[in-house]
């Protein structure tokens, strides 16, 4: 199961993400407020999380990143795995190499593989897999890309990789050795020269769980939007009518028939969006979040993931008081509920949530502005969404990337 982080600070989207980080005084004077209440669809209060020991976490594998000091994408550092409670942690990428996680998979012989990507200062980019049992490492593909601005994803069956290159987005077939360009970058010369204001590019490829579709981000200067595409059609079929009114982040449903998403253009606030097959129209489930006149607390959605085909776990951040909140939205009933507030009450701007499929567990983190200068991710919190019970694991700035049962 593929569960990758979606609050990424892409350079082209930096202004989009950071605009929500104004302090309370700036927010209050810059936007109208009201004593009006948020609609009845908005979750009401729930007890704060309590520290407990949650059962069953020893049967879970966590993938996390340690040692990433750069807030920009790609998040690169040491890729580690551990049990769900943080025990038995071990680094699986080479020491001294900054690596970005792609996914977990299996070889034809049944071995557990971890795919990752690295890049040197000249833009030479390499995709590897590592056998989690033996530690054996295999170079799968090498190519040139824009330094410090590279994206890739390996298909669930391990046959294809979709990756950026300086002039576009390519798909490579490991079985046949064939390569094709899915999308050409706009103003390719400017992209290569890092003149980002004149460059638009398809980035952030993310395969659907069934391996049939891709989510990509159409990135433009100070913005971008998610697109659902069929890479196996010729020409490539774009299934969404995306533009700046579409969210730029998103997570696939387990059945590959929907995306939960958030983040709209340069808007300061975001609701929770649902894009569903077959029309893939972006539907805002909480439009009131984007209206200051009825949202004086500046509550906004910062991350989402799927617990199962019906339930979306999503995180919100409030400015007054500044705290994170974990909610569940039921796709079948259209109802949502607040599970718990997060104890990391000084959070700012963003966060992460990674759900353990077909369980009641989700791992949540909020981005914190420490001392008014430095961004840090809070210590990961495993939350039982049925009860709000919480167990903190690992350490601050360990970034949870993936979680799945063994």
Query: What distance lies between CA 52 and its chain's CA centroid?
Result: 27
Q: What is the pLDDT of residue 58?
A: 86
Q: What are the pLDDT digits (tens) for 184-242? A: 887 666 666 766 566 678 889 999 999 999 999 988 776 788 899 999 998 999 999 87
Contact between 86 and 60 (Cβ < 8 Å): no
pLDDT at 379 over 50: yes
Better-predicted residue by pLDDT, 400 or 3: 400
Q: What are the pLDDT digits (tens) for 103-136? A: 999 888 888 999 999 999 899 999 999 999 999 9
Better-predicted residue by pLDDT, 142 or 58: 142
- Non-local CB neighbours of 133 within 8 Å, separated by 6+ positions: 111, 112
Better-predicted residue by pLDDT, 290 or 50: 290
In the chain, what are the domain boundaries?
11-400
Using a 10 angstrom Cβ sphere, with 0-12 exposed, 13-18 middle and 19 or more buried, the burial of residue 366 is: buried
Rg for the chain (alpha carbons), in Å? 20
**How far apart are alpha carbons 388 and 317 in whole angstroms?**
17
Q: What are the pLDDT digits (tens) for 320-332? A: 777 889 999 999 9
pLDDT at 25 over 80: no
372 pLDDT band (50/70/90 cuts)? Answer: low
Q: What is the pLDDT of residue 73?
A: 64
Q: What are the φ/ψ torsions at residue 293 (nearest 5 degrees)?
A: -65, -25
Q: What is the pLDDT of residue 44?
A: 41
Report the chain's mean pLDDT, rounded to a whole number.
82
**How far apart are alpha carbons 363 and 398 in whole angstroms?**
12
Q: What is the pLDDT of residue 246?
A: 82
Average pLDDT over residues 11-20: 33
- In three-state form (DSSP H/G/I as H, E/B as E, the rest C), the secondary structure along 60-83 is EEEEEEECCCCCECCCCEEEEEEE
Q: What is the pLDDT of residue 209?
A: 96
CB under 8 A, 24+ apart: contacts of 197-202: 197/221, 201/12, 201/164, 201/168, 201/169, 202/164, 202/168, 202/169, 202/227
Q: Which CATH superfamily is domain 11-400 in?
A: Prolyl oligopeptidase, N-terminal domain (2.130.10.120)
Q: What are the pLDDT digits (tens) for 162-184? A: 999 988 999 999 999 999 999 98
Q: What is the largest CA-CA distance in the chain?
A: 62
Cα distances from 319 to residues 26, 316, 368, in angstroms, run 11, 10, 12
Q: What is the pLDDT of residue 360?
A: 93
Contact between 13 and 219 (Cβ < 8 Å): yes
- Which has the minimum average pLDDT: 23-27, 72-76, 189-193? 23-27
pLDDT at 21 over 60: no
**How far apart are alpha carbons 329 and 335 in whole angstroms?**
6
**How far apart are alpha carbons 246 and 255 in whole angstroms?**
22
Better-predicted residue by pLDDT, 277 or 28: 277
pLDDT at 40 over 50: no
Strand locations in 132-257 (E):
137-144, 152-154, 160-165, 168-173, 179-184, 201-207, 214-220, 223-230, 237-238, 247-252
349 pLDDT band (50/70/90 cuts)? Answer: low
Q: What is the pLDDT of residue 2?
A: 47
Q: What is the pLDDT of residue 374?
A: 74
Q: What are the pLDDT digits (tens) for 261-313? A: 998 765 678 899 999 999 999 999 999 988 888 988 888 899 999 999 999 99
Q: What are the φ/ψ torsions at residue 18 (nearest 5 degrees)?
A: -75, -15
Q: What is the pLDDT of residue 26?
A: 34
């Amino acid at each position: 199961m593929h569960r990758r982080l979606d609050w990424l600070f892409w350079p082209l989207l930096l202004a989009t993400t950071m605009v929500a980080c104004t302090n309370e005084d700036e927010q209050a004077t810059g936007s109208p407020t009201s004593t009006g209440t948020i609609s009845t669809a908005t979750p009401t209060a729930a007890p704060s999380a309590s520290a407990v020991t949650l059962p069953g976490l020893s049967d879970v594998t966590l993938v996390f990143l340690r040692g990433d000091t750069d807030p920009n994408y790609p998040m690169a550092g040491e890729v580690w795995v551990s049990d769900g409670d943080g025990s038995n942690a071990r680094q699986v990428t080479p020491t001294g190499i900054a690596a970005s996680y792609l996914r977990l998979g299996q070889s034809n012989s049944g071995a557990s593989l971890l795919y990752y990507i690295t890049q040197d200062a000249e833009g030479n980019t390499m995709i590897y897999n590592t056998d989690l049992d033996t530690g054996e490492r295999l170079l799968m593909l090498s190519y040139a890309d824009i330094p410090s601005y590279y994206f890739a994803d390996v298909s669930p069956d391990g046959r294809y990789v979709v990756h950026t290159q300086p002039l576009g987005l390519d798909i490579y077939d490991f079985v046949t050795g064939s390569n094709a360009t899915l999308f050409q970058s706009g103003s390719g010369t400017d992209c290569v020269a890092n003149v980002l204001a004149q460059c638009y590019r398809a980035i952030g490829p993310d395969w659907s769980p069934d391996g049939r579709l891709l989510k990509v981000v159409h990135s433009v200067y100070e913005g971008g939007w998610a697109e659902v595409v069929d890479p196996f059609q010729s020409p490539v079929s774009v299934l969404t009518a995306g533009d700046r009114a579409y969210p730029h982040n998103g997570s696939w449903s387990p059945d590959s028939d929907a995306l939960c998403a958030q983040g709209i253009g340069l808007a300061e606030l975001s609701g929770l969006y649902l894009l569903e097959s077959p029309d893939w129209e972006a539907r805002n489930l909480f439009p009131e979040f984007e209206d200051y006149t009825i949202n004086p607390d500046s509550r906004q959605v910062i991350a989402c993931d799927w617990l199962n085909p019906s339930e979306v776990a999503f995180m919100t951040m409030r400015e007054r008081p500044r705290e994170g909140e974990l909610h569940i939205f039921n796709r079948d009933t259209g109802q949502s509920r607040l599970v718990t507030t997060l104890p990391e009450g000084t959070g700012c701007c963003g966060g992460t949530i990674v759900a353990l499929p077909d369980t009641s567990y989700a791992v949540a983190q909020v981005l914190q502005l420490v001392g008014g200068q430095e961004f840090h991710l809070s210590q990961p919190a495993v939350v039982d969404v049925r009860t709000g019970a919480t167990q903190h694991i690992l350490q601050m700035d360990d970034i949870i990337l993936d979680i799945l049962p063994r």
